[in-house]
Amino acid sequence: MATAMLRGLWQAVRPHHRTARGKTKGPEQVVLEEGAVWSCRVRAGGLRLTCCEGLLWLTHEGEPTDKVVKAGGSVRLDGPGLVVVQALRPARFGPSEP
C-alpha cells in the first residue's frame, strides 16, 4: 500500500485526544499500550481502520454495536462521528484501503 494513499486516508480523521500512554507512529499508525484510549472525530465516511497487532475495542458514534478487532482485522467507518478505540492488549492500528 502506498504511503501517500495512507496519508490521504489519515487526513479524513483529526485526532483530538490521546492518553499519555498512546502515541502516533508516523502519520499512518497509532500505537497504544494495554488499556490506553485514543479517539478522533471522523469528518467523512469510507475510512477503514486495520489492527496491525494486538487487540482493540472500537466504538463509532451512530453505530448500534461496538466492535472488537484482533490483529489482521479491520473495521469500515461508513459515516462521520466520534471514534473511540481502546487497546485490550498492546496494539498498533491505522488506516487502510477502504
Domain positions in the chain = 3-96
State in words which class domain 3-96 has.
mainly beta
* pTM summary value: 0.71
Q: Tens digit of pLDDT per residue, the chain (98 long)? A: 333 333 444 444 434 334 334 454 444 799 999 999 999 998 887 889 999 999 999 999 999 999 999 999 999 998 999 999 999 999 999 998 76
Tell me the three-class secondary structure of the chain, residue by residue: CCHHHHHHHHCCEEEEEECCCEEEECCCEEEECCCCEEEEEECCCCEEEEEEEEEEEEEECCCCCCEEEECCCEEEECCCEEEEEEEEEEEEEEEECC
